[in-house]
Structure 1
Amino acid sequence: MTAISCGIDFGTSNSTIAIDQAGTISLVPVEESHVTIPSAIFFRRTDNRALYGRAAVNAFFDRQDGRFMRSLKRVLGTSLMKQGTQVNGTPMNFSIIITAFLRHLKDKADAQAGSSIENVVMGRPVHFVDNDPSADTQAQAELEVIARRIGFKHIDFQYEPIAAAFAHEARISGEKLAIVADLGGGTSDFTVIRLSKQYIHKPDRSSDILANTGVRIGGNDFDKALSLAGIMPELGYRTTYGAKHLEVPLKPFHDLAEWSKVNFLYTPKVLMQTRQLLHESHDKPRYRRLVSVLEQETGHMLLAAAEDAKIALSDEPSHQAIFDFIEPDFVLPIGRQLFEEAIDEQVEQIMDSARACLQQAGVGAADIDLVILTGGSTEVRSVQAAFSQLFPKADIADQNKLSSVGLGLGYDSHYKFGQPRQSATVS
């Protein structure tokens, strides 16, 4: 049976695609049996062939020669889209890079459907870029151009937290007033919505959606905060140099702590400047580690170690982070308290956005029956504690954190391009 539509969740950290086949909505296996794929791409230097997802991550950590990129979604709506980047010595526009990744997803869906899918609902954050409506509009327009480039003819957009609500609605008994918290790698988005099985077939859900808010803070920002607080000081962050005891430039450290900016550090100019400062550094052993990371181009490994520490600290009170790729026997203990203190301000900004959503909806926290948590960043202990404190009487739903948005977009595509939704099957 031919799929008439699909939904794509192009995430900062992970992506999914769900298709509608005769009223049944299912997630497409996009990497072997996995229905989620890391939003990562690796261009091999030998032939510039692109690898995607886990294959891209593995190629990079196996130290294959090539160019690795993650967090591409955060480039949308920014000047980097036009600026582009170097891929194995050749200038490449980010639009081409994102196109390659999304075409890979569409090819998987087309293969399962047995035909080329022309209708799509693309997920989007409430704000691609905070406090910049023109950049926000530009980001969606850029994503729409890419969707048309890979073969979609009919394109609609849906806020990601609304999609997550649709994915949970079929399992709800009675009517619930819900707030959806979609905390991904790049943004945190909220929707207050009325949900019920009886509402699934309604042709227009606008009256059920009471408010949407969002802030450009997510798991990548937690990684950066942890890196700057607990890792970068061991690479000379905020140390001094020279006769005037000036603080070393902070930009290289900040760029090393952000997935979308790491590759811009690997230039002769940056390396030369860093080596020059090493001679005047007042903490040569630590600052030499920064030089080593730039020389060996291991910034992504540094970021991955920070991400691994974040994930580990969701379960354990402390973590031994290994940095033997910088120097032998370099192990750094990182505690949960340090992590939570590092992200405290960001968590508060996220909760401010949640409270703003309640205010826009004209409801109080006590009126919420259900809190739907989706996105990997909701695994962080202090985030979970903040939601439990704000909504002490509400039920918490956190199933399928990495796939609920994609599945919900598949539901929405059936509503917009097909017949009333009938069922959902996760495969």
Structure 2
Amino acid sequence: MSSLSARACGIDFGTSNSTAGWLRPDANTLLTLEDGKVTLPSVVFFNVEEDATCFGRQALAEYLDGYEGRLMRSLKSLLGSSLIDGQTEVAGRALPFRELLQHFIGEIKRRAELSAGRSFDTAVFGRPVHFVDDNPAADARAEATLAETAHAVGFREVSFQFEPIAAAFHYEQSITREELVLIADIGGGTSDFSLVRLSPERAKLNDRRDDLLSNAGVHIGGTDFDKYLSLAGIMPLLGYKSRLKNNAEVPSSYFFNLATWHTINFNYNRKIWSELQEVYRDALDKDRLDCLLRVIERREGHWLALRVEEAKIALSDAASATLQLDRIKEGLTHVIDRDTFESATAQLVDDVEFTVAELLRDANLARQDIDTVFFTGGSSGIPMLRQRIAAQLPQARPVEGDLFGSIGAGLAVEAMRRYGPMAG
């Protein structure tokens, strides 16, 4: 490590969690962002009762404590989507989604500077291999939006690095010999993969283009696993796939919005409430529709999504998870087993596995040539996903990185490489 501190920082703006890294002598690379922790959950809560905006764990705590307001999560999912030019309502006023992004990224910057004891005007931001699948123009717009947001909150100079490459640079700090590594970064919003040649000697080079053998990514991450687990395991309790008197299904859009982090708030308006009254009149199973109406009327969608996320995490280690759903219906508990989870998300896993297979073909390497699979990203702990990736490289050594910190730490390494140490 250099005996000087870096001029620039690294920012990992994640779908579920964000980190900031700064390379300096004899200190942790990751900066503390909330209550001594290096991660800041990517959550904003506009507390109407207190007329205050809060972030991260505090945002979730105030929402769950029952304060009236608007919770926003999975903000990164706005990048590259048509929603970015839209707005939401907060305390009776329109809040553009671009302004919402500025709120959060500005808060990362403020907290990083507070932790570092200095200001930052230069940063390397992480980005997924694809913000948007199979649409280069939309992908470029997403990166441009993130750059514009960073400039708007006070970063003078901004550049980007693929998130799995950043994770590779972090892993490279720990190895003693050359390795050919598949970086598997399974985050909240995307699954990104890179094949990289790493070694202590190569780490000293400024130009690493020859060491990057192949990149691939797909817009599938932990929030997608949440969504399909919710649709399979929870939404039927609220009337998903139940019937109307004409034998048609209850419209699925209400359930899809509730099961998707960044669209939960779409159900909270007068038009939807009026539609649901008509649906309810024609519903054959009014008991279950009562549960849906209760969730929407009381704005419990994010509370329910958090319960689903907890079940997903529990199912990484256990065969089943029991959810306490008393806010839906008094005394209601519900058990979800791993078979339900794996069946609901099988297509997602297939798509990720196909992406890895294509990456290996594009690199024109034999599978036995890969020395290591380096797993990072909070969703890389999903057992079926990890097993299917590892099965493609049975001779490679699996290594688990810091699931939430590898990218931010690697971006800090890249920030020093690109922008050098502080003057003086």
- The reply to whether TM is greater than 0.5 is yes
1:325-376 deviations in Å (ceiling 9; x for gaps): 1111111110001101111110110111111111221113221101010111
Give the counterpart letter for 2:181 in structure 1. A
1:8-45 deviations in Å (ceiling 9; x for gaps): 00000000000133697710000011001110010110
TM-score, normalization: structure 2? 0.96
Please point out which of 401, 406, 414 is paired with 1:404: 406
1:54 CA drift (Å): 0.3
Alpha-carbon distance between aligned partners in 1 of 2:184 and 2:114, rounded to the nearest angstrom = 33
Q: Give secondary structure in 2 for the equivalent of 1:325.
A: coil
What is the number of equivalent residue pairs in this alignment?
Answer: 419
Q: Give secondary structure in 2 for the equivalent of 1:247.
A: coil
1:130-173 deviations in Å (ceiling 9; x for gaps): 11111111110000011111111111100000000000001112
Tell me the equivalent position of 1:345. Answer: 347
Give the counterpart letter for 2:409 in structure 1. L
Please point out which of 132, 143, 149 is paired with 1:146: 149
User: 1:269-288 to 2 correspondence within 5 Å?
Assistant: 269-288=271-290
Give the counterpart letter for 2:165 in structure 1. I
Alpha-carbon distance between aligned partners in 1 of 2:171 and 2:25, rounded to the nearest angstrom = 20
Alpha-carbon distance between aligned partners in 1 of 2:28 and 2:120, rounded to the nearest angstrom = 14
1:115 CA drift (Å): 2.7
Segment of structure 1 superposing worse, 91-100 or 66-75:
91-100
1:49-68 deviations in Å (ceiling 9; x for gaps): 21110000111111111110
Segment of structure 1 superposing worse, 362-371 or 107-116:
107-116
User: 1:184-203 to 2 correspondence within 5 Å?
Assistant: 184-203=187-206
1:3 and 1:117 in contact (8 A); partners too: no
User: 1:16-415 to 2 correspondence within 5 Å?
Assistant: 16-21=19-24, 26-242=29-245, 244-415=246-417
1:3 CA drift (Å): 4.8
1:299-330 deviations in Å (ceiling 9; x for gaps): 11111111111001011101111110111111
Q: CA RMSD in A?
A: 1.5
1:220 and 1:259 in contact (8 A); partners too: yes
2:33 and 2:115 in contact (8 A); partners too: no
1:152-200 deviations in Å (ceiling 9; x for gaps): 1111100000000000001112110001011001000000000101111
Give the counterpart letter for 2:34 in structure 1. E
Q: Give secondary structure in 1 for the equivalent of 2:158.
A: strand
Give the counterpart letter for 2:210 in structure 1. S
Alpha-carbon distance between aligned partners in 1 of 2:23 and 2:150, rounded to the nearest angstrom = 18
1:251 CA drift (Å): 0.5
Residues 2/162 of structure 1: CA separation in 2 closer, same or farther (3 Å cut):
closer
1:208 CA drift (Å): 0.0
Q: Give secondary structure in 1 for the equivalent of 2:23.
A: strand
1:25 and 1:410 in contact (8 A); partners too: no
2:128 and 2:162 in contact (8 A); partners too: yes
Give the counterpart letter for 2:393 in structure 1. F
Whether 1:12 aligns to 2:15 is yes
Alpha-carbon distance between aligned partners in 1 of 2:339 and 2:307, rounded to the nearest angstrom = 18
Tell me the equivalent position of 1:423. Answer: none
1:228-262 deviations in Å (ceiling 9; x for gaps): 111111111011112x2111100010010000000
Which aligned runs of 4 or more in structure 1 are off by greater than 4 angstroms?
Answer: 22-25
1:2 and 1:114 in contact (8 A); partners too: no
Alpha-carbon distance between aligned partners in 2 of 1:48 and 1:198, rounded to the nearest angstrom = 54
2:229 and 2:345 in contact (8 A); partners too: yes
Segment of structure 1 superposing worse, 118-127 or 411-420:
411-420
Structure 1: gaps (5+ residues)? 421-427
Give the counterpart letter for 1:319 in structure 2. A
Q: Give secondary structure in 2 for the equivalent of 1:11.
A: coil
1:3 and 1:22 in contact (8 A); partners too: no
Alpha-carbon distance between aligned partners in 1 of 2:204 and 2:219, rounded to the nearest angstrom = 32
1:399 CA drift (Å): 2.4
Residues 417/22 of structure 1: CA separation in 2 closer, same or farther (3 Å cut):
farther
Q: Give secondary structure in 2 for the equivalent of 1:207.
A: helix
Tell me the equivalent position of 1:424. Answer: none
Alpha-carbon distance between aligned partners in 2 of 1:204 and 1:23, rounded to the nearest angstrom = 26
Give the counterpart letter for 2:112 in structure 1. A
Alpha-carbon distance between aligned partners in 1 of 2:58 and 2:241, rounded to the nearest angstrom = 36
Alpha-carbon distance between aligned partners in 1 of 2:43 and 2:19, rounded to the nearest angstrom = 13
2:191 and 2:352 in contact (8 A); partners too: yes
Residues 316/284 of structure 1: CA separation in 2 closer, same or farther (3 Å cut):
same
1:291 CA drift (Å): 0.9
